[in-house]
Structure 1
Amino acid sequence: MPTVLIVGATRGLGASLAKAYTSQPGYTVLATARTSNPPANSTFYPPLTHHLTIEITIRIAKSLFYIPNIDLSTPSAGPHILDYLSTRSITKLDIIIITAGYFATESLASPSFDAQEKMYKTCAIGPTILVTALANSPTLLSESSKIILVSSESGSIALRHESEGGGNYGHHASKAALNMCAKLLALDLKERGVAVVSVHPGFMRTEMTRGVGFDKYWDVGGAVTPDVAAESLREWIETFDIGMTGQYWAPRGAADIGTAEPVLGPKDKLPIPLQLPW
């Protein structure tokens, strides 16, 4: 029975991925939440720490288990997840998908040190430290394990084009940093048969993109719902293997990448899925 760990799974793409995998027969889905209250229709276990006592709340479960109080931007995320896996006697993770993200807009006139720091911690540092924690466990990552780091086309230096302009320094650069970490992790883990990839899952109609004012681009930019993006990503992950480790992919292709045509050529000539340039 494959075991899937989804980090950042209470809203947006992560929540849709949890639903998509739970609907597949035979999967056990572990989903992290930043809060202590899981969504409905789940089984909830509190973090097992010696100083924290929380009554276990059991909901209707379909092989979906939430791990609460996991903030990827903090050093405690890895140890809390490892504690949970140990107490549940989970010895191997087949698929790890890290979706957690944070987006704050910036311009030349209004950069933000605090926002950039939060974006780097959430989007690049946290995922990398968590993967290393899992990798240093004796058995959790082994041959055929797959690690998917949810990045964005905004992390591609090659795709940054004058037609888009500058700004959004922390968002774009933290995704580029994540891409670099994915490449380095792939090199470290290849001999163990563990495949690592960074992906652009698509432009989505989420509260995150609405919150930064990008909802005005939803229609013209071809934005899809998280459910649609999740299903595309889930299907693509089935085809992803060690032969593709260390690469950068857009499972849905270039339809929603505004700079694709001036950089890569006509969108209708580009393949789906599309391997993205760094």
Structure 2
Amino acid sequence: MPNILIVGATRGLGASLAKVYASNADNHVYATARNTTAPANTKNLIYIPSIDIAFPEASGTILNFLHSRKITHLDIVIITAGYFATESLEKPSFADQEKMYKICAIGPTILITGLANDSKTLLDAKSKVLFVSSESGSITLRHESEGGGNYGHHASKSALNMSMKLLSLDLKERGVAVACVHPGFMRTEMTKGVGFDKYWEAGGAVTPDVAAKSLVEWIETFGISKTGQYWAPRGAADIGTAEPVLGPKDKLPTPLQLPW
């Protein structure tokens, strides 16, 4: 019975992923909640409360939970936790950038190193590790048509991509498959909270349930042959800079391997 750990699973994509995986009775899904009060557990969906990936103790708390449940192997680990604060040349924010780096890059890296160092079996040749990144982390896809700004948002995703690449090299001999994914432009409280809901229609934004289904299907095809890569399971449809950088969207494949 597969063991699946989803970090950041009480709303948005993480909640939808937990629902999809838990719909299969053969899966054991462990989902983290930032608050002390988590959603109710079900037969095969168990929540781990008080997990804030921005703090160093998060990985230890997750490991203690896994040990208490005698879980010695994880088949899939998906880290979806994120934070997005807007910035401009005129209004940068040290505090917001620091928070984005902690949540989007540092915390996920520390967690996976913690899992990897715990034992040789927790992450092994049957394990898949997915970091939910964004096309916004691609330096190649940044184009003058989009403009600048949002420094912490873009740079923290680029940092996550680099950490993923390095972890994939460290874990390749063990057979652990590691990748970053752009799950799609989504209609979430996060994108609405920064005013991006005005782009939902034109940008082809989808609900988290739709994005989760696409991601789960892609993960089924993902393995060690694609480790260290950066993918958009839903293709280029919602990537506004894809055409000026990569060419006509109708000529690009789905799923799409993204450029760094």
TM-score normalised by L of structure 2: 0.99
Q: Does 1:177 align with 2:159?
A: yes
Aligned to 1:166: 148
- Partners of 1:225 and 1:17 in 2: CA distance: 12
- Any gaps of 5 or more consecutive residues in structure 2? none
Q: Does 1:121 align with 2:102?
A: yes
How far apart are residue 62 of structure 1 and its match?
3.2
Cα deviation, 1:26-70, whole Å, max 9, x if unaligned, reads: 00000000001112xx32xxxxxxxxxxxxxxxxx1300000000
SS in 1 for 2:158: helix
Cα deviation, 1:132-184, whole Å, max 9, x if unaligned, reads: 00000112101120000000000000000000000000000000000000000
Amino acid at match of 1:111: P
- Partners of 1:25 and 1:2 in 2: CA distance: 10
Aligned to 1:241: 223
Instruction: Specify which of 231, 250, 253 is matched with residue 232 of structure 2.
Output: 250
- Partners of 1:21 and 1:137 in 2: CA distance: 25
Aligned to 2:7: 7
Amino acid at match of 2:234: R
- Partners of 2:206 and 2:87 in 1: CA distance: 24
Question: What does 1:70-85 correspond to in 2, within 5 Å?
Answer: 70-85=51-66
Aligned to 1:57: none
Cα deviation, 1:249-270, whole Å, max 9, x if unaligned, reads: 0000000000000000000110
Does the 8 A contact of 2:3 with 2:28 survive in 1? Answer: yes
Identity of aligned residues (%): 75
Does the 8 A contact of 1:144 with 1:242 survive in 2? Answer: no
TM-score normalised by L of structure 1: 0.93
Amino acid at match of 1:37: T
Instruction: Specify which of 51, 54, 78 is matched with residue 97 of structure 1.
Output: 78
Aligned to 1:106: 87
Question: What does 1:1-278 correspond to in 2, within 5 Å?
Answer: 1-39=1-39, 42-43=40-41, 61-138=42-119, 139-278=121-260
Amino acid at match of 2:189: E
Amino acid at match of 1:127: P
Runs ≥4 residues deviating over 6 A: none
Cα deviation, 1:49-94, whole Å, max 9, x if unaligned, reads: xxxxxxxxxxxx1300000000000001000000000000000000
Does the 8 A contact of 2:74 with 2:127 survive in 1? Answer: yes
Aligned length: 259
SS in 1 for 2:172: helix
Does the 8 A contact of 1:4 with 1:94 survive in 2? Answer: yes
- Any gaps of 5 or more consecutive residues in structure 1? 44-60
